[in-house]
Structures are given as structure tokens and as C-alpha cells.
Amino acid sequence: MRVLAFLDGTLADPDAAHIRVDDLGLLRGDGIFETILVADGKPRELGPHLDRLARSAAMLDLPKPDLSAFERITRLVIDNWTDAGEIALKLVYTRGVDGDPEAKPTGFALGLPIDPKVIKARAEGVSVVTLDRGFEPTLAEQAPWLLLGAKSLSYAVNMAALREAARRGAADVIFTATDGSVLEGPTSNVVIARGRTLYTPPKNTGILPGTTQAGQYRGAEKAGWTVKVEPLRVADLRSADGVFLSSSVRKITRVHTLDGEPLPDSTEVHAEVAAAYESEYA
Ligand code: PLP
């Protein structure tokens, strides 16, 4: 099933057309979004998702989003979801109609079922290729207009990278900077385990500050792990006890193969790290 609610609080038919063809979100990808996991009827990390929506809006000079309205329509979608199971709940906010000085941003919440491929990957792990993202890790700070680290609707590059992964026989991607350091996945953050310590790359490299990685770190710390934010190299991925892609809908997904080479078996580490993450929402 799918449930759609607009920012003014109205429910709408998700199978009908609603967005104008001259909406800048459509014409230029000029807008932002969030994807929230709803499990057991509860939206995970709702506060951090709304904060990040506001942060992305500020980076794109969009009008400040009405976060209370976004929270209301998030709950409206959840309340109208009658199927069993989890929801992938998208919040979308665009600059609105092109050329209209009175134009108001377009905003909606859309609840979708979880893609079965994602559920399979959570359980079985994924094969990943590293791909060059083509910039230095310092670029985000030098060139804020490139919007690195904003969750903008311009995800065509991220989707192209996933198709390139498929061409290479893999399911996902880990982007690297031109200096060979690890950045993030097209729709995920990278976390590795070494001994009882988790590592993830710093956010000033232009990667998205992940709500899942933050929850994963909180849960791991409570379970006795040490957590660190440090630059990582591809060699660190190969020598790790576990490599994980973290994001709201995929949760903590294990990487079992990197650039065609199997990684050491991390099934047990994954079970432990995933359980620590889940305990944050129990
Ligand atoms: N990095 C990118 C580029 C993403 O698109 C996402 C989520 O889709 C993430 C990281 C992980 O963010 P979150 O854990 O908040 O879902």
C-alpha cells in the first residue's frame, strides 16, 4: 500500500497526479528529501530527520520548512497505514513552481512499502564496489554551493553509481575521494568494526550526517563498544572485522564482498552490531 499526505494536512490519492510539471523539484531536482523508517508504527530518529531537513533547506536557501507540519503529516501517513510491516516514509520539499514569485514550496509525505531487495540485503549482506566520487575530501568546505552533504533531490549521480555497480555484478557502492579516502554509499554511510571499535569517516568530507549511523553509535556505545570518527582508506575496509552500510531503510547491512573479493566473514559481528542498533528502538 501507499499513503500520501500534503503539507497542508490533506490526504491524497497516491495513484493520481498532483505535482505541476513546472515544479522546480521536477525541472531541476531543486528540493530536498528525507527517508524515514517506520517500524512497529514508530518513526525512527524523527527529530534528527526533521533537523536534517531544516539543515538541507538552509544549504539550498529554501524557505524554512514548517517542521511541525512535516511532523503532523508524518503521523498522518502512519495513522492511515493499515498494512502490517514497516514503512519507508519520504518527506519531500521542493522550491515549488518555476517563475512564480508567489510560489510556495511543495511539501508532502509519502509512505511506501519496503523494497523486498532491501529486506533480503539486511539478512544476507551485499556485494559492493568502490567508485571514485571525483572530489577531494576538502571540497565540501571550499565550495558549499556544490551542496555536498545536503540531502537534495539531485540523486541522479547516486542512482547512476548504483547502475554502474550492477554492471560490475555488485549491489551497492562505496564512494572514494580522489585521495583514496572512503566517503559514503550513494544512499548510506560506511561504518567498519575493528576489534571492539567502530569507525566512520568524518562528515566534513561532504558526506551526509546519517541518522542511522548516529543511532548505531549510540547503541554500540551502550553495548560496550568504542566509537570513533576517523578518515578511512579502502585498505581499512579490507582488513576490518566488519564493513557495514547504514541507512534508515536498509538499517545495518553487512558488506560481504568488496570489488569482487570476499571480505572476512562478519556474520557474528554484524549480528552483534545490528542488535545493539535495534536495542535503541526496543
Ligand atoms: N548518505 C547518503 C548519500 C544517503 O542518501 C543516506 C540516506 O539515504 C545516508 C547517507 C544515510 O542516512 P540515514 O541513516 O539518515 O538514512
Each residue's pLDDT tens digit, 205-243: 999 999 999 999 999 999 999 999 999 999 999 999 999
Contact 184 CB / ligand 1 (< 6 Å): yes
Identity of the amino acid at 202: P
CA 87 to CA 68: how far, in whole Å?
Answer: 20
φ/ψ of residue 259, rounded to 5:
50, 45
Question: Any alpha helices (H) in the chain, and if so which ranges?
Answer: 24-28, 46-59, 67-79, 116-124, 139-142, 156-167, 211-222, 234-239, 267-279
Question: Which of 36, 87, 151 is the best mutation target for the ligand 1 pocket, counting ligand atoms within 8 Å of the beta carbon and taking the most?
Answer: 151
Give me ligand 1 centre to Cα 207, in Å: 9
Model confidence pLDDT, tens digit, residues 120-174: 999 999 999 999 999 999 999 999 999 999 999 999 999 999 999 999 999 999 9
The three state secondary structure string of 155-207 is CHHHHHHHHHHHHCCCCEEEEECCCCEECCECCEEEEEEECCEEEECCHHHCC
Share above pLDDT 90 across residues of the chain, in percent, rounded to a whole number: 98
CA 30 to CA 18: how far, in whole Å?
Answer: 17
Q: Which ligand 1 atom lies nearest to the CA of residue 215?
A: 14
Give me ligand 1 centre to Cα 189, in Å: 6
Model confidence pLDDT, tens digit, residues 74-115: 999 999 999 999 999 999 999 999 998 888 999 999 999 999
CB neighbours of 185 closer than 8 A, spacing ≥ 6?
128, 172, 173, 174, 175, 245, 247
CA 186 to CA 98: how far, in whole Å?
Answer: 28
Q: Pick the residue whose CA is nearest to atom 10 on ligand 1.
A: 188
Cα angle 23, 26, 27; round to 5? 80
Tally of CB atoms within 10 A around 141: 13
